[in-house]
Structure 1
Amino acid sequence: MTLRAAVIGTGRIGSLHAAIYARDPRTDLVGVVDADVDRAQQVASEMGTVAFDSTEELLERSAPDVVSVAVPEGVRLEPAVLAARAGCHLLLEKPIAPTLARTDELIAGLDPAPGVVMVNFILRSDPRFLSVRDAVHRGRLGTVRTVSAHRRGTAAGAQALGEWTNLLISTAIHDVDAMSWVVGSPIRRVYAEAVAGASAQWGHEDAVLATFQFANGAIGSLDTSWVLPTGVPAPLDAGFRIVGTGGSAAVEGANQGLSYVGKAGLELPDLMHWPTGRDGVGGDLRASVSHFLDCVHTGCTPVMTLADARQTERVVHAIRESIAREEPVVLD
């Protein structure tokens, strides 16, 4: 059965969702909508579909089976609940909401969910992280003792996103989730320090160092920032390392084996998250959307549930709480 697919929010990520649905043989892209009408019409024209004036109109006239909700987290609640009430399966971009209170409100609004609800944390669909998680769970690395991650972006991130989101909830949340997911244990204690720079005007942090204690006794660290100059070769300096009594594993995120040198200097393009080629959008994002569609067809539990996403967001808010209180925070 071909699924009727729609996308709410046609910004950078939403347009990629639309492109994936437009090419997937399991889906027929029946509509998109965005507060920026011109942007929605542009995406619709490129994808051979229809741009609607409102979420209500999209749901009523296109009658989708599956919906990606890719609007900013601050305005995600209403369209998500509307789509759920229309009986749609939902793929929600992360984070669910900017605060835990809003997150719980959205979760309550989706209860009971009419179908599959998945939150899009793409590292859970990244083959590198899947491999490391499998190695940990098979005991290849022995007993895990430490896990560390870094995700360092440029100051352009703060300028582009700082007005409506922050470094931790938009970017570092991927690593917080990946560490707990790969280790296979929830984070129980957080201690963090931060530096405020350009993001201080919005009440946010430019750089954060955090340490974690996991329920199974492992410890971890996170180094994340939006401070690098915009001219650095890689769009994101990211990495992940895990050490156990039987060995270690590392994921190097800044260089995937391709480089260009030209007038712009050295460039190291990202080939993992959402590269575009002859088969359309690929990488982790395509794998994540594909997994969501598999779950819709088979009824299986998605790799990232609402409960999982809520737990990850709880840790992120604990980091900010630790920064504000200048002391460790113990999670329930």
Structure 2
Amino acid sequence: MPPLPAPEFRPAFRPRTPTPEQPVRVAVVGTGGWGEQHARVFADRTDTELVGVVGRDVTRARARADAYRTDAYTDVDAMLDTAQPDLVTVCLPNEEHFAPTLHLIERGVPLLVEKPLVFDLTEADALLDAAAERDLFVAIDLNHRYAEPVQRLKAAIDAGDLGALVFATWRFGGEPNLGGSRHANLIETQVHGLDMLEQLCGPIASVMAQPFDGTHPGTVTTLAVALEFASGAVGTLLGTYDSSYAYPGTHLLEVNGTEGRGLVEDTVRRLTLSRAGDDVARVWQAGYFDDEARDFHGTFDRYVDDLLRALRAGGPPPVPAEAGRRALQVAHAIIRSGDEGVRVTVGTASQA
């Protein structure tokens, strides 16, 4: 969606806080692939009502709205004024989030924004500042957190089952999703790894990156990053657009401690927990009737459960937009490291 022109003055949108008996009214901005996942979730739930789909192309917007039994719009303000949603989700092309998101924040509507938040730290800060001025609920979709193996691994780490953490490894990637930025792989796709590694292992303190642009000169399609965590643990991240999602082991997450190891395969497929010196491991993988747990898109459904609870309670989002800003901060440190060939200190979440 192109940047929106300066709108005529409109009063701040004042959404209601739904009671437990009322469905949450949701509108989706965007008609792409993940926009369809958003439309699916909010159309199918019994505790939500999909009240509109907004797209820049009227034919696509109508087709998506018809498929999910709602109304189509090509103007965000017209949708807000007519549909009166309690929540708007933003599912636009990755590098076109800023202007529409800022506009929605200025209208005062609670938001769920697809990752990445934006590509530029100054824009991220502008969005967060505008939301803070309005005490506005703004969440970001980092749904990998909600995979069953990941949640079980975090519980094991928090319980001390792995002992003191020593190292962690993240590997993820497949076919390219190239955009205008030479760092799309890092900022759009590996955002999940940056967020996940910090969720499991604590803050990343410094990074040393080795980029590769041999398949698309000028665009970093693969990169290897050496990580130092604030705890003293170390790690690696390998992110690529030079592989295939058809390959087994597309995603691998390993966390190794003094007492054991956790290994997550393909995000939702399997978790293996091992104890040091023990040949017998504990394995979780979805059982016969657990189709939801093995479905990657189901991680978004699980996230929405938490999101709606927080929205109804008037509390903070389960994954606030600040998490997207933090991942972007780490990504920019990685970019600088790759450009300059030096190790770069990341700093705390409050430091750019």
Tell me which of 309, 329, 333 is aligned to 1:318: 333
Tell me how large the CA RMSD over aligned residues is: 2.0
1:323 aligns to what SS in structure 2?
helix
Percent sequence identity over aligned pairs? 27
Q: 2 CA distance for matches of 1:229 and 1:188?
A: 31
Q: 2 CA distance for matches of 1:111 and 1:78?
A: 17
Q: 2 CA distance for matches of 1:4 and 1:229?
A: 38
Q: What's the counterpart of residue 266 of structure 1?
A: none
Deviation at 1:307, TM superposition (A): 2.1
Q: 2 CA distance for matches of 1:70 and 1:233?
A: 27
Would you say 1:24 and 2:39 are equivalent positions? no
Q: What's the counterpart of residue 122 of structure 1?
A: 143
CA contact (8 A) 2:168 2:197 kept: yes
Would you say 1:91 and 2:112 are equivalent positions? yes
CA contact (8 A) 2:149 2:269 kept: no
5+ unaligned residues in a row in structure 1: which ranges? 258-269, 275-282
Deviation at 1:293, TM superposition (A): 1.0
5+ unaligned residues in a row in structure 2: which ranges? 1-21, 271-292, 348-352
Higher alpha-carbon deviation: 144-153 or 297-306: 297-306
Q: 2 CA distance for matches of 1:167 and 1:98?
A: 12
AA at the equivalent of 1:273: F
CA contact (8 A) 1:116 1:295 kept: no
Deviation at 1:207, TM superposition (A): 0.8
Deviation at 1:255, TM superposition (A): 8.4
Higher alpha-carbon deviation: 11-20 or 306-315: 306-315
2:132 aligns to what SS in structure 1?
coil
AA at the equivalent of 2:215: A
CA contact (8 A) 1:89 1:114 kept: no
1:146 aligns to what SS in structure 2?
strand
Q: 2 CA distance for matches of 1:78 and 1:243?
A: 42
Q: 2 CA distance for matches of 1:47 and 1:113?
A: 32
Q: What's the counterpart of residue 289 of structure 1?
A: 304
Q: 1 CA distance for matches of 2:138 and 2:254?
A: 30
AA at the equivalent of 2:167: T
Deviation at 1:11, TM superposition (A): 0.5
Tell me which of 187, 199, 213 is aligned to 1:169: 187
Deviation at 1:254, TM superposition (A): 7.5
Matches within 5 A, 1:46-195: 46-154=67-175, 157-158=176-177, 161-163=178-180, 166-183=184-201, 185-195=202-212
Would you say 1:197 and 2:214 are equivalent positions? yes
Describe the superposition over 1:8-30 as per-residue Cα deviations: whole angstroms up to 9, x where unpaired: 11100011101100011111111
CA contact (8 A) 2:226 2:234 kept: yes
Higher alpha-carbon deviation: 191-200 or 108-117: 108-117
AA at the equivalent of 1:116: F
Q: 1 CA distance for matches of 2:99 and 2:244?
A: 37
Describe the superposition over 1:276-308 as per-residue Cα deviations: whole angstroms up to 9, x where unpaired: xxxxxxx10111122211110123333321222
Query: Do the aligned partners of residues 3 and 255 (structure 1) sit closer, same or farther apart at CA in structure 2, a change above 3 Å counting?
Result: closer
CA contact (8 A) 2:153 2:262 kept: yes
Max radius of gyration: which structure? 2
Q: 2 CA distance for matches of 1:255 and 1:122?
A: 11
Query: Do the aligned partners of residues 229 and 96 (structure 1) sit closer, same or farther apart at CA in structure 2, a change above 3 Å counting?
Result: closer
Q: 2 CA distance for matches of 1:69 and 1:219?
A: 35
Query: Do the aligned partners of residues 63 and 93 (structure 1) sit closer, same or farther apart at CA in structure 2, a change above 3 Å counting?
Result: same
CA contact (8 A) 1:239 1:254 kept: yes
Higher alpha-carbon deviation: 302-311 or 314-323: 302-311
Describe the superposition over 1:57-77 as per-residue Cα deviations: whole angstroms up to 9, x where unpaired: 111111111011111243222
CA contact (8 A) 1:237 1:254 kept: no
CA contact (8 A) 2:168 2:255 kept: yes
Deviation at 1:168, TM superposition (A): 0.4
Deviation at 1:115, TM superposition (A): 3.9
Q: 1 CA distance for matches of 2:27 and 2:129?
A: 23
Q: 1 CA distance for matches of 2:168 and 2:232?
A: 11
Describe the superposition over 1:246-292 as per-residue Cα deviations: whole angstroms up to 9, x where unpaired: 101000008838xxxxxxxxxxxx94321xxxxxxxx1011112221
1:199 aligns to what SS in structure 2?
coil
Deviation at 1:78, TM superposition (A): 2.5
Deviation at 1:126, TM superposition (A): 1.4
Tell me which of 58, 62, 65 is aligned to 1:44: 65
Q: What's the counterpart of residue 279 of structure 1?
A: none
Count of matched residue pairs: 303
CA contact (8 A) 1:87 1:114 kept: no
CA contact (8 A) 2:268 2:295 kept: no
Describe the superposition over 1:70-116 as per-residue Cα deviations: whole angstroms up to 9, x where unpaired: 11243222322332333322111111101111111222222234542
1:80 aligns to what SS in structure 2?
helix
Q: What TM-score do you get using the length of structure 2 for normalisation?
A: 0.81
Q: What's the counterpart of residue 239 of structure 1?
A: 252
Q: 1 CA distance for matches of 2:93 and 2:32?
A: 9
Would you say 1:207 and 2:222 are equivalent positions? yes
